[in-house]
């Protein structure tokens, strides 16, 4: 992004860069602002959905909308590419970014946790640092939370050693340490919940990455995949070819095998068929919309996901609140991916700007998805799709004839996958 571009946003920035050291919020400090804001949007969650929405709201409104982004973590750690940290070809530092770029675009980034939303009063309440704040429109993109109670024995104590690492960060590093500490000849057990869950191909990519590490560092070890789904849910033939060609004798895939219980002390898991022992247990519990979506009454389906109007991403349950990303009740054939959450962010930003200006939002939004998976440190397979709004069905549907998967795994797409990560991190974080 050019400096000119950045400067024009800074000038248009309404409140200037908000200083988080102010304690209670006085937002009357707009006197020096060059333009009057037409309203305030607060965004909860600085991940793929929320950060993108915040950036595009500033950019596309020419700085006329005041945007606050609330994120509990001070740095963004990307789930995409985090499996490569487990495989050993990337570090946590490689997948960590800051929020400075968004601040430079006039997004006022507050690091705190939102403890509650009051949709009637249009108020956001904070856990620690900040006083209640009001909004004109609210965006909620909190990602997923985990249904630990669905797996017997996966209590708070067990969670200390049986990790999911399905949110990148300290747990990614902890899981890597468990793999490093495992003896050659050991067993890594990966349990996958029934779809829908965050990132359909993600668990299979993880199995490849752990197998890649074992192949190089402890070749007598095994990766056993226990999949609650009948078969691989994404890019099946491509993953199976990789397991056979690259990791024969290491990866053991078992479909239709749901982990029902965990015994952390014995390091075992129980399925309907048997009890298996592993040196490292990596159990992905079933997932649902993030807690704040749940406590704010945004969940509309199965006590898990948030229904939205796909023209605006506005909640089906609460007016003036837009839900993005993994928390949404996905449209048909739409994956829960970072790429898609980014697209939700743009769709919502465009619609909210129209709504706040008293205009009609686009009746023809389109989104696309690309998910690259690394089957080794260099070779990649993709799945892609394009989705358009269908007025009759009132949802986004895949465009007939579009999309598909890689012909076979290849290194060229390995370089594209790395470039995808750099570009999408920049597209969301400034």
Partner 1 sequence: MKLRKLGLTGLWLSLTCSMPAWSQAVDPNLGRNLAANCANCHGTNGVSVGGMPALAGQSRDSLARAMKEFREGKRPATIMHQLSKGYSDEQIDLIAAYLSAQKAR
Residues that bind ligand FAD in the complex, under the rule CB under 6 A: 44-50, 70-73, 79-80, 82-83, 113-114, 141-143, 166, 198-199, 202, 206, 290, 292, 324-327, 336-339, 341, 371-372
- Identify which of residues 12 and 227 has a Cβ nearer to ligand FAD in the complex: 227
79 closest CA partner among 405, 369, 326: 326
136 contacts partner 1 (rule: CB under 8 A): no
x-or-dash string of contact with partner 1, 31-60, rule CB under 8 A: ------------------------xx--xx
Contact stretch for partner 1 (CB under 8 A) within 157-165, 264-272, 297-305, 378-386: 378-386
- Identify which of residues 301 and 368 has a Cβ nearer to partner 1 in the complex: 368
Residue 223 has which token pair? 């990766």
**Which sign does the torsion angle of CA 168, 173, 174, 177 carry?**
positive
CA distances from 13 to 74, 139, 263, 387, 396 (A): 22, 19, 54, 33, 33
120 contacts partner 1 (rule: CB under 8 A): no
Site for partner 1 in 352-371 (CB under 8 A): 355, 358-360, 362-368, 370
304 closest CA partner among 321, 291, 319, 316: 291
427 contacts partner 1 (rule: CB under 8 A): yes
- Whether 373 and 208 have beta carbons less than 8 Å apart is answered as yes
Q: How many CB atoms lie within 10 A of CB 224?
A: 19
**Contacted entry of partner 1, ligand FAD, none for residue 258, CB cut-off 5 to 8 Å set by kind:** none
410 contacts partner 1 (rule: CB under 8 A): yes
Cis peptide before 351 (omega within 30 of 0): no
- Identify which of residues 186 and 403 has a Cβ nearer to partner 1 in the complex: 403
SS3 state at 402: coil
Size of site (CB under 8 A) for partner 1: 57
- Identify which of residues 26 and 360 has a Cβ nearer to partner 1 in the complex: 360
Q: Tell me how many degrees the CA angle 141-145-147 measures, rounded to the nearest 5.
A: 150
- Whether 65 and 107 have beta carbons less than 8 Å apart is answered as no
- Identify which of residues 91 and 422 has a Cβ nearer to partner 1 in the complex: 422
Site for partner 1 in 387-406 (CB under 8 A): 387-388, 391, 399, 401-404, 406
* CA pair distance 13, 51, nearest whole angstrom: 17
- What lies within 8 Å, CB to CB, of 91 at 6+ separation is 85
Tokens 């939700």 correspond to: 344
Beta strands in 278-405, from DSSP E residues, in sequence order:
280-283, 287-289, 308-309, 314-315, 321-323, 366-374, 380-390, 395-398, 404-405
151 closest CA partner among 305, 303, 282: 282
381 closest CA partner among 390, 370, 391: 370
Closest approach of ligand FAD to the CB of residue 33, in Å: 26
Q: Name 398's bridge partners.
A: 387
**Contacted entry of partner 1, ligand FAD, none for residue 61, CB cut-off 5 to 8 Å set by kind:** none
Q: Which of 5, 11, 275, 303 binds partner 1 (CB under 8 A)?
A: 5
Contact stretch for partner 1 (CB under 8 A) within 64-72, 106-114, 224-232, 410-418: 410-418
State how beta strands 137-140 and 321-323 pair. Answer: parallel
Closest approach of partner 1 to the CB of residue 52, in Å: 9
**Contacted entry of partner 1, ligand FAD, none for residue 82, CB cut-off 5 to 8 Å set by kind:** ligand FAD
Closest approach of ligand FAD to the CB of residue 429, in Å: 12
x-or-dash string of contact with partner 1, 287-316, rule CB under 8 A: ----------------------x-xx-x--
* CA pair distance 50, 375, nearest whole angstrom: 29
- Whether 211 and 251 have beta carbons less than 8 Å apart is answered as yes
**Contacted entry of ligand FAD, partner 1, none for residue 142, CB cut-off 5 to 8 Å set by kind:** ligand FAD
**Contacted entry of partner 1, ligand FAD, none for residue 267, CB cut-off 5 to 8 Å set by kind:** none
* CA pair distance 102, 428, nearest whole angstrom: 8
221 contacts partner 1 (rule: CB under 8 A): no
**Contacted entry of ligand FAD, partner 1, none for residue 298, CB cut-off 5 to 8 Å set by kind:** none
- Identify which of residues 46 and 153 has a Cβ nearer to partner 1 in the complex: 46
Tokens 């690091």 correspond to: 111
Binding site for partner 1 (CB under 8 A): 1-2, 5, 55-56, 59-60, 309, 311-312, 314, 319-320, 339, 342-343, 346-347, 350, 355, 358-360, 362-368, 370, 382, 384-388, 391, 399, 401-404, 406, 410, 412-413, 415-416, 418-420, 422-424, 426-427
């Amino acid at each position: 992004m050019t400096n000119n571009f950045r400067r024009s946003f800074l000038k248009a920035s309404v409140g200037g860069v908000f200083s988080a050291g102010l304690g209670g919020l006085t937002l009357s400090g707009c006197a020096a602002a060059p333009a009057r804001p037409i309203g305030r949007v607060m965004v909860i969650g600085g991940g793929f959905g929320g950060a993108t929405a915040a950036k595009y709201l500033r950019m596309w409104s020419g700085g006329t909308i005041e945007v606050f982004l609330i994120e509990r973590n001070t740095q963004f750690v990307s789930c995409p590419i985090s499996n490569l940290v487990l495989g050993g070809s990337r570090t946590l530092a490689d997948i960590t970014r800051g929020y400075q770029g968004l601040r430079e675009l006039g997004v006022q980034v507050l690091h705190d946790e939102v403890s509650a939303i009051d949709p009637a009063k249009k108020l956001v309440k904070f856990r620690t640092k900040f006083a209640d704040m009001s909004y004109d429109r609210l965006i909620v993109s909190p990602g997923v939370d985990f249904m630990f109670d669905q797996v017997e024995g996966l209590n708070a104590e067990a969670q200390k050693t049986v990790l999911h690492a399905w949110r990148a960060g300290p747990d990614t590093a902890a899981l890597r340490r468990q793999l490093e500490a495992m003896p050659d000849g050991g067993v890594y057990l990966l349990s996958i919940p029934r779809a829908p869950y965050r990132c359909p191909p993600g668990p299979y990519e993880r199995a490849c990455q752990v197998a890649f590490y074992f192949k190089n560092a402890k070749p007598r070890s095994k990766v056993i995949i226990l999949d609650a789904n009948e078969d691989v849910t994404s890019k099946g033939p491509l993953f199976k070819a990789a397991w056979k060609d690259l990791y024969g004798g290491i990866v053991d895939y078992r479909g239709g095998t749901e982990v029902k219980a965990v015994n952390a002390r014995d390091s075992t898991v129980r399925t309907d068929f048997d009890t298996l022992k592993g040196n490292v247990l990596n159990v992905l519990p079933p997932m649902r919309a993030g807690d704040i979506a749940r406590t704010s009454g945004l969940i509309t389906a199965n006590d898990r996901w948030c229904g939205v109007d796909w023209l605006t991403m506005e909640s089906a349950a609460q007016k003036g609140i837009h839900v993005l990303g993994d928390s949404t009740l996905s449209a048909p054939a739409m994956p829960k991916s970072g790429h898609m959450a980014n697209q939700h962010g743009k769709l919502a930003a465009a619609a909210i700007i129209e709504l706040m200006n008293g205009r009609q939002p686009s009746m023809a939004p389109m989104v696309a998805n690309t998910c690259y998976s690394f089957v080794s440190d260099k070779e990649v397979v993709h799945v892609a799709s394009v989705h358009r709004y269908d007025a009759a069905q009132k949802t986004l549907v895949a465009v007939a004839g579009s999309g598909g998967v890689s012909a076979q795994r290849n290194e060229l797409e390995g370089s594209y996958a790395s470039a995808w990560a750099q570009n999408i991190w920049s597209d969301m974080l400034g």
